[in-house]
Amino acid sequence: MTPWSETNLADAALLRAALEGLPDALVIADTAGVIRVWNAAAERLFGFTREESVGQGLDMMIPERFRPAHDAGFARAVETGTLRSGTRVLRTRSNHKDGRRLYVDFTFAVLKAPDGRVVGMQALARDATAAHLQQQASTQGKQA
C-alpha cells in the first residue's frame, strides 16, 4: 500500500474518486450552462443519471418560473467572476426527474482556470426538503 505522503493528491484518478465519493451532489457546468460533471450524489438527489445529465443544460434542475432569475445571475457570475451570494448557503426549489418538488441547499462557486479565466460554475447541493417542510409546518402551527 502506498503511504499517504507518497500519494500524489493532484492525480486525476484520485481527484475523480474524491469527487465521486462526496456525500453532497456536485454539479459543474461550463460558461454556457451545460453540465460537465454530475456525481453519484447528484444522481440520488435529482434522479437523473450521469448519462442523462452531462451535456444537458442546467434547466433540467431549475423550475421554469425560476429560470429567468437563474440565467441572469449565472450570466452575471460568468461575466464578473464573482457571485452575489458569496459563500452563503442558499435554499431554493429544484426539480426531481420524477416530478417531485425539492428544496435544496446549494453553495455555489465560480470555477476559474489557473490564469484566472472563468471556465464554469460549480455547485454543491444537499436535499433540504424534509427540513423545509418541517419548518413550514412549525411556522403554520405557531400562527394557528
Residue 9's pLDDT band (cuts 50, 70, 90): low
Superfamily of domain 22-143: PAS domain (3.30.450.20)
Angstrom CA distances, 32 to 28, 74, 102, 113, 131, stand at 11, 9, 24, 16, 32
Tell me the percentage of the chain whose pLDDT exceeds 90.
70
pLDDT at residue 139, rounded to an integer:
76
What are 83's three cell numbers? 457571485
Q: What is the mean pLDDT of the chain?
A: 89
Asked whether the predicted pLDDT for residue 25 surpasses 70, the reply is: yes
The β-bridge partners of 121 are 29, 110
Report how many helices (DSSP H) and strands (DSSP E) the chain contains, helices first: 5, 5
What region, left, alpha or beta, does residue 135 occupy, with left being phi > 0 and alpha being psi -120 to 50 degrees? alpha
Tell me the percentage of the chain whose pLDDT exceeds 70.
91
* pLDDT single digits (tens) 69-111: 999 999 999 999 999 888 889 999 999 999 998 999 999 999 9
* pLDDT single digits (tens) 43-77: 999 999 999 999 999 999 999 999 999 999 999 99
pLDDT at residue 108, rounded to an integer:
95
What are the domain boundaries of the chain? 22-143
Mode of pairing for the β-strands spanning 90-95 and 35-38: unpaired
pLDDT at residue 101, rounded to an integer:
87
